[in-house]
Amino acid sequence: EIKACIFDLDGVVVDTAKYHYLAWKRLAQELGFEFTEQHNERLKGVSRMRSLEILLEVGGLSFPLDEMERMAAKKNAWYVEYIERMTPDEILPGAKELLEELRANGIKVSLGSASKNSPLILERIGLKNHFDAVIDGNSVTVAKPAPDIFLVAAKSLGVNPEFCVVFEDAEAGIEAAINAGMRTVGIGNPQILNRADVVVPNLKGFTYSKLIELFLKK
């Protein structure tokens, strides 16, 4: 039985990876090295400070913690400039329809994102009122693949983890959901998301009945 669905934000509901990339690339440029799109893949689903650690590793640099905090804040200010200009057109295909259909069928819906910027993004894309709970990097700081974000989401919906399905585009996110004892739908590359129960390219055409059908058999 499925009683709740938990959605990651970046890469599932919106494609913000491109904005994260532009901001990280700018920081790398300031520090004097190139940061490629391929490097950026490693930052998906990972917290802001962990992302910075990976970036500095790519550049072969290291800094004391206070310097790193200053750099992360700078990157975030640039990132916020991009997401402040987001519009509802940037919602990924099928996401809004699925959220609405799930709730119409009595399924509870939560956000489960590592991002501290999720309230701003939800506001800009007009999905603030589409979730029964919003659990993100502001409420839970323990990063995926730890299960904390998803467990807190389930708890605030009042649903046991076994009745939850998580929608995730990142490997660390699928791990986190498995660690939480939840079912998983991977969004993207089946090779990367090979631990997910099922993988789809995107949410286009993903319906309530498809969800029920998929997890009835499991």
Find out whether 110 and 7 touch, Cβ atoms under 8 Å. Answer: yes
CA 46 – CA 142 distance, rounded (Å): 11
Residue 11 region by backbone torsions, left for phi larger than 0, else alpha for psi between -120 and 50, else beta: left
Q: Does 161 bind ligand BG6 (CB under 6 A)?
A: no
Q: Does 136 bind Mg ion (CB under 5 A)?
A: no
C-alpha pair distances (Å), 116 with each of 41, 46, 136? 19, 12, 6
Cβ proximity to ligand BG6: between 42 and 210 the closer is: 42
Amino acid, single-letter form, for residue 112: G
Q: Does 43 bind ligand BG6 (CB under 6 A)?
A: yes
CA atoms within 13 A on the CB side of 53: 6
6: Cβ contacts below 8 Å, ≥ 6 apart: 109, 110, 111, 112, 135, 150, 153, 154, 164, 165, 166, 167, 177, 182
Write down the least CB distance from residue 187 to ligand BG6, Å: 12
Q: Does 108 bind ligand BG6 (CB under 6 A)?
A: no
Known catalytic residues are: 8, 10
Residues 122-141: x where in contact with ligand BG6 by CB under 6 A, - otherwise, as a string: ---------------x----
Question: What residues between 1 and 20 interact with Mg ion by CB under 5 A?
Answer: 8, 10-11
- With CB under 5 to 8 Å by kind, the binding choice for 47 among Mg ion, ligand BG6, none is ligand BG6
199, 202, 205, 207: CA torsion to nearest 10: 60
Cβ proximity to Mg ion: between 191 and 209 the closer is: 191
Write down the least CB distance from residue 218 to ligand BG6, Å: 26
Q: Which of 6, 71, 113, 147 binds ligand BG6 (CB under 6 A)?
A: 113
**Where on the chain is the footprint of Mg ion (CB under 5 A)?**
8, 10-11, 45, 169-170
Chain residues that interact with ligand BG6, rule: CB under 6 A: 9-10, 20, 43-48, 51, 76, 113-117, 137
